[in-house]
Amino acid sequence: MKIGIQIEPQMGYTYGDLVTLARTAEDAGFYSFTVSDHFFGNVESVEKYAHDAWTLLALLTPQTERIRLGTLVTCQSYRNPALVAKIAAILDNASNGRIDFGIGAGWKRPEYEAYGYPFPSARTRVRQLGEAIQIIELLWTEERPSFEGEFYSIRETMFLPKPVQKPRIPIWVGNMKLKTSLMEEIVARYADGLNYDSETPEDFAEKKNRVRAACDRVGRDFDDLRWSIYLCTSVIGEDADDFEKKKQDLLGQRWLFEEITDELKQKVLDVMLARYVSGTVDEAVEKLSRYRGVADVMVLGLPMVGDLLKNGLDTIKLLKDHVVPRL
Instruction: Tell me the CATH number at 125.
Output: 3.20.20.30
Alpha helices by DSSP H, 122-261: 122-141, 181-190, 201-218, 240-252
Q: What pLDDT, on the 0 to 100 scale, is given for residue 44? A: 79
Q: What pLDDT, on the 0 to 100 scale, is given for residue 258? A: 58
| Cβ(69)–Cβ(117) below 8 Å | no
The enclosing H or E element of 5 equals: strand 2-7
User: Cβ neighbours of residue 263 under 8 Å, at least 6 residues apart?
Assistant: none
Report the predicted TM-score, pTM, of the whole model to 2 decimal places. Answer: 0.96
Q: What pLDDT, on the 0 to 100 scale, is given for residue 14? A: 96
User: Cβ neighbours of residue 276 under 8 Å, at least 6 residues apart?
Assistant: 231, 232, 233, 234, 301
What one-letter code names the amino acid at 295?
A: A
Q: What pLDDT, on the 0 to 100 scale, is given for residue 257? A: 65
Dist. CA 189–CA 47, nearest whole Å: 39
Q: What are phi and psi of 308, to 5 degrees?
A: -60, -40
State how beta strands 193-196 and 226-237 pair: parallel
Residue 104, domain extent:
2-326
Q: What pLDDT, on the 0 to 100 scale, is given for residue 259? A: 66
Per-run averaged pLDDT (10 residues), the chain, 327 residues? 97 96 98 97 87 98 98 98 98 98 97 97 97 98 98 98 97 86 96 91 93 97 97 97 97 81 92 96 96 94 96 98 97
CA 324 to chain centre: 19
Dist. CA 65–CA 43, nearest whole Å: 36
The count of structural domains within the chain is 1
Q: What pLDDT, on the 0 to 100 scale, is given for residue 260? A: 82
